[in-house]
Amino acid sequence: MTHPDDPRPAGQDRVPLSQRARPALRAPYLEGLNPAQREAVETLEGPVLMLAGAGTGKTRALTARIAHLIATGTARPNEILAVTFTNKAAREMKERVAALLGQPLEGMPWLGTFHAICVKLLRRHAELVGLKSNFTILDTDDQIRLLKQLILAENIDEKRWPARVLAGLIDNWKNRAWGPEKVPAAEAAAFNHRGTELYAAYQQRLADLNAVDFGDLLLHMVHIFQTHDDVLAQYQRWFRYILVDEYQDTNVAQYLWLRLLAAGHRNICCVGDDDQSIYGWRGAEVGNILRFEKDFPGAKVIRLEQNYRSTPHILAAASAVIRGNEGRLGKELWTEIEEGEKVRLIGHWDGEEEARWIGDEIEAMQGGSRGLAPMSLDDIAILVRASHQMRAFEDRFLTIGLPYRVIGGPRFYERLEIRDAMAYFRLAVSPDDDLAFERIANTPRRGLGDKAMQTIARTARAHGVSLLEGARLAVETGAIKGKGGKSLDLLVRQIGRWHAQVRDEADTHVELAEMILDESGYTAMWQNDKSPEAPGRLENLKELVKALEEFENLQGFLEHVALIMDNESESDGEKVTIMTLHGAKGLEFPAVFLPGWEDGLFPSQRSMDESGLKGLEEERRLAYVGITRAELLCTISFAANRRVYGQWQSQLPSRFIDELPEEHVEVLTPPGLYGGGYGAAGAFGMGSQIEERASRADAYNSPGWRRMQA
């Protein structure tokens, strides 16, 4: 008996002869495809790597290939395994295939994300890994709660060895398809030499609970395929054609799963771009796409190189930068679009000036500037390397009333760590601020549970005083004792001292802000947090302190933030998009600003320190992704100086700037502003094409330049 989702009716292994012999019908889904796209669509047998550059219509080719498989009777919809990375991509793919075929698409149960497909498979074979078919899938919060229980049971200090860190470690191991028994000796020392032991205990606890986490979905299926040949053979027969989107983003577990399924018929088509592999930090292995031909001997590599998005200048700039990477599969993007604007390069005196200039430029673009038609704010994006860069732009845009949206995260002043820090500042200015006290009383943890907070609130109400005063009275009367009482007493005295310093103005408000964050233990809390988000939160705190420098005192700054956030309209009108380069992958905008191209910021010093040349090459791929988001106008900028910890530091322009092709770049910076090279070479007195171009540039009479000369 066949399974309900088995693509073949009982007793039938092939597509019916009548269907296979029918005359060829006109294929509207092939119309408008360029020769490379058409070849990718019609090459159905054997392994195919569709090497698709940015903006080359890979989604169209991929969906047309699925339509072609179905329309020609080569495969039924339920014989096709089509894998994406997001639910949105899966949904769009299904809609596009239906549109190409001119009819609703029914019966494609195997079109979806890796996780969605593996859930279906695992429910069928759960008993092979000691689970029941009705297993529960834990989310991240459940996973961390469970790991905390295990850590406490082993008498490990959770503050020193946080559960979140262990969760990240286990997730990384699962991405590499390592069960507890397969973690290599080189990794065994992780988490104070207890990582693999806790991993094994965690997996056992999951089994006891009849539960899995997201990493298990692939890990278990890889294990089942590797240890049960009959199960693997069954799915190799069922999935006669395999298609994979964004292959360059696959991790080891996903790669092994796909290779196992394709090992029989080898009818696998992988679509990707090694030049856009930017997720190494979360387990993606660019090597998977680079060794495709080795994994599948005789594979056909089809390069999609005709770009439908960007101007020749933008493509030339992106191509020149990415050529700096070694071991690429190689391709040359080209377009039939006419010349268009050159990539614009401008240096600024400092980061605030950069934000002001970009704000002025966007306002000018709304009305039509430099011979271009007026642009909608929805057509303009600012793509930053790190989220802390957003603060300067948000401040500027809020001040001048330029509507914007932040994609992929909250606005700067709405971020958790910023709201916490601001609550501390509010208490220093106004100790009676009960909302601020409630927010930070147990952040970082001071041993104050709900019961202690209720005691404070009850004491404050009984005496008609603020929560801070209620806390002082609760400690004095012994209503709150022990560790929590001592910590609370210290906090009360600290707030009193900070408030006195605000009034006395003994220290600058910037120094006081740093002192508050240090003495409260808030900075240390994030320094000790080993989660992937912690470094970014620390950068945001530094950016917050930096923002204080523009104000006379703490109170003035707090008023400024309150007013601009109150003025912010949540209308559905046009807005400039601000987002990270990572978040922008797959998107496109008529006009793109790429600020902060300075060595250490971009390429990221942390990435280079942690991963060396591999990290630098991923940063270069990120630069390529950023440039190729632009359709008509791409502006790259950098600052000569930035304030770091209250001190001015000279910034070295990004080494990627020297890799830009001089003939495709228009330098807007006034001559003689820096007296040296623009890129990394400039620091050593070495000339570069961009430097020579800058020396010949006409002064660009920007509002920022005029202010700088005033």
Q: Is the pLDDT of residue 680 over 50?
A: no
| Residue 327 forms part of a structural domain | no
| Residue 688 forms part of a structural domain | no
Q: Name the token pair of 25.
A: 């019908």
Q: 588 with 561, same domain?
A: no
The pLDDT tens digits for 438-461 are 999 999 999 898 899 999 999 999
| Residue 515 forms part of a structural domain | yes
The pLDDT tens digits for 664-679 are 999 997 654 553 334 4
Whether the Cβ atoms of residue 703 and residue 357 lie closer than 8 Å to each other: yes
Which amino acid, residue 8?
R
The pLDDT tens digits for 528-572 are 887 778 888 998 899 899 888 878 888 888 887 876 665 554 556
Q: Is 276 a catalytic residue?
A: yes
| End-of-domain residue from the set 209, 239, 254 | 209
Q: Name the token pair of 529.
A: 């947090």
The pLDDT tens digits for 81-131 are 999 988 888 888 988 898 888 877 777 889 999 999 999 999 999 999 999
Enclosing H/E stretch for 563: helix 554-567
* Phi-psi map region of 54: left, alpha, beta (phi>0 left; psi -120 to 50 alpha): beta
CATH number at residue 291: 3.40.50.300
The predicted structure's pLDDT at residue 28 = 82
How far, in Å, CA of 653 to CA of 594, rounded? 13
Q: How confident is the model at residue 695 (pLDDT cuts 50, 70, 90)?
A: very low
Q: 565 with 580, same domain?
A: no
How far, in Å, CA of 326 to CA of 608, rounded? 16
Q: 478 with 560, same domain?
A: yes
Residue 349, SS3 per DSSP: strand
| Residue 309 forms part of a structural domain | no
In this structure, the strands spanning 630-644 and 589-594 are: parallel
Q: Name the token pair of 686.
A: 């070495």
Q: 32 with 99, same domain?
A: yes
How far, in Å, CA of 304 to CA of 286, rounded? 18
Residue 74, SS3 per DSSP: coil
Catalytic residue among 213, 245, 360, 617: 245
The predicted structure's pLDDT at residue 370 = 74
Q: Is 58 a catalytic residue?
A: yes
Whether the Cβ atoms of residue 516 and residue 415 lie closer than 8 Å to each other: no
* Phi-psi map region of 596: left, alpha, beta (phi>0 left; psi -120 to 50 alpha): left
Whether the Cβ atoms of residue 443 and residue 420 lie closer than 8 Å to each other: yes
What number is the average pLDDT over the span 499-514?
A: 84
Whether the Cβ atoms of residue 421 and residue 517 lie closer than 8 Å to each other: yes
Catalytic residue among 79, 213, 246, 618: 246
Q: 558 with 598, same domain?
A: no
| Residue 434 forms part of a structural domain | yes
Catalytic residue among 58, 240, 391, 655: 58
Measured between alpha carbons, how far is residue 296 from residues 46, 267, 300, 526 in Å? 9, 10, 9, 46
How far, in Å, CA of 168 to CA of 202, rounded? 13
Whether the Cβ atoms of residue 58 and residue 309 lie closer than 8 Å to each other: no
The full length of the chain comes to 710
Q: Is 527 a catalytic residue?
A: no
Concatenate the DSSP letters of all residues of 218-248 into one string.
HHHHHHHHHH-HHHHHHHHHH--EEEESSGG
How far, in Å, CA of 3 to CA of 234, rounded? 11
Q: 546 with 424, same domain?
A: yes
Question: Whole-prediction pTM value?
Answer: 0.76
Whose tokens are 């190409």? That residue is 100
Q: 563 with 589, same domain?
A: no
Catalytic residue among 94, 309, 629, 693: 629
| Residue 626 forms part of a structural domain | yes
The pLDDT tens digits for 55-93 are 999 999 999 999 999 999 999 999 999 999 888 888 889
Task: State the alpha helices, DSSP H only, in 154-213.
Answer: 163-175, 190-193, 195-208
Domain extent for 83? 27-120+222-304
How far, in Å, CA of 115 to CA of 214, rounded? 7
Counting the structural domains of the chain, the total is 4
How far, in Å, CA of 395 to CA of 191, rounded? 40
What number is the average pLDDT over the span 283-303?
A: 91
Angle CA 383–386–391, to nearest 5? 80
The predicted structure's pLDDT at residue 697 = 36
Q: 531 with 595, same domain?
A: no
The predicted structure's pLDDT at residue 701 = 39
Q: 562 with 577, same domain?
A: no
Concatenate the DSSP letters of all residues of 623-683 into one string.
HHHHHTTEEEEEEEEEEEEEEETTEEEE-PBPTTGGGS-GGGEEE-SPTTSSSS-SSGGGG
Give the up-direction half-sphere exposure of residue 74: CA atoms within 13 A in the CB hemisphere: 20
How far, in Å, CA of 634 to CA of 592, rounded? 5
Whether the Cβ atoms of residue 302 and residue 43 lie closer than 8 Å to each other: yes
Question: How close are the terminal C-alpha atoms of the chain, in Å?
Answer: 85
> 346-376 burial, b for 16+ CB within 10 Å, e for fewer?
bbbbbbbbbbbbbbbbbebbbeeeeeeeebe
Q: 63 with 199, same domain?
A: no
Q: Name the token pair of 18.
A: 């009548």
**Among positive and negative, which fits the CA dihedral 205, 207, 213, 218?**
positive
How far, in Å, CA of 241 to CA of 262, rounded? 8
The proportion of the chain whose per-residue pLDDT surpasses 70, expressed as a percent, equals 88
Enclosing H/E stretch for 14: none
Measured between alpha carbons, how far is residue 88 from residues 100, 104, 120, 309, 378 in Å? 18, 18, 19, 21, 21
Residue 407: count other Cβ atoms within 10 Å of its Cβ.
Answer: 12
Residue 302, SS3 per DSSP: strand
Q: Name the token pair of 414.
A: 């709405």
φ, ψ of residue 168 to 5 degrees: the values are -65, -40
How far, in Å, CA of 433 to CA of 426, rounded? 7
Q: Is 691 a catalytic residue?
A: no
The pLDDT tens digits for 223-280 are 999 999 999 999 999 999 999 999 999 999 999 999 999 998 999 999 999 999 988 8
Q: 592 with 555, same domain?
A: no
Better pLDDT: 399 or 689: 399
| Residue 315 forms part of a structural domain | no
Give the E-state strand segments of 495-557 in sequence order: none
Give the up-direction half-sphere exposure of residue 581: CA atoms within 13 A in the CB hemisphere: 28
Question: 163: closest CA among 214, 219, 202, 217?
Answer: 202
Whether the Cβ atoms of residue 642 and residue 351 lie closer than 8 Å to each other: yes
CATH number at residue 197: 1.10.10.160
Task: State the alpha helices, DSSP H only, in 579-633.
Answer: 581-584, 605-627
Give the up-direction half-sphere exposure of residue 615: CA atoms within 13 A in the CB hemisphere: 13
How far, in Å, CA of 168 to CA of 170, rounded? 6
| Residue 324 forms part of a structural domain | no
Residue 23, SS3 per DSSP: coil
Residue 571: count other Cβ atoms within 10 Å of its Cβ.
Answer: 8
Q: 466 with 550, same domain?
A: yes
| End-of-domain residue from the set 535, 570, 605 | 570
Catalytic residue among 196, 254, 276, 580: 276
| End-of-domain residue from the set 541, 570, 599 | 570
Concatenate the DSSP letters of all residues of 75-119 into one string.
S-GGGEEEEESSHHHHHHHHHHHHHHHTS-----TTEEEHHHHHH
How far, in Å, CA of 544 to CA of 391, rounded? 8
Q: How confident is the model at residue 573 (pLDDT cuts 50, 70, 90)?
A: confident
Catalytic residue among 6, 39, 43, 59: 59
How far, in Å, CA of 306 to CA of 51, rounded? 12
Q: What is the DSSP letter of 271?
A: E
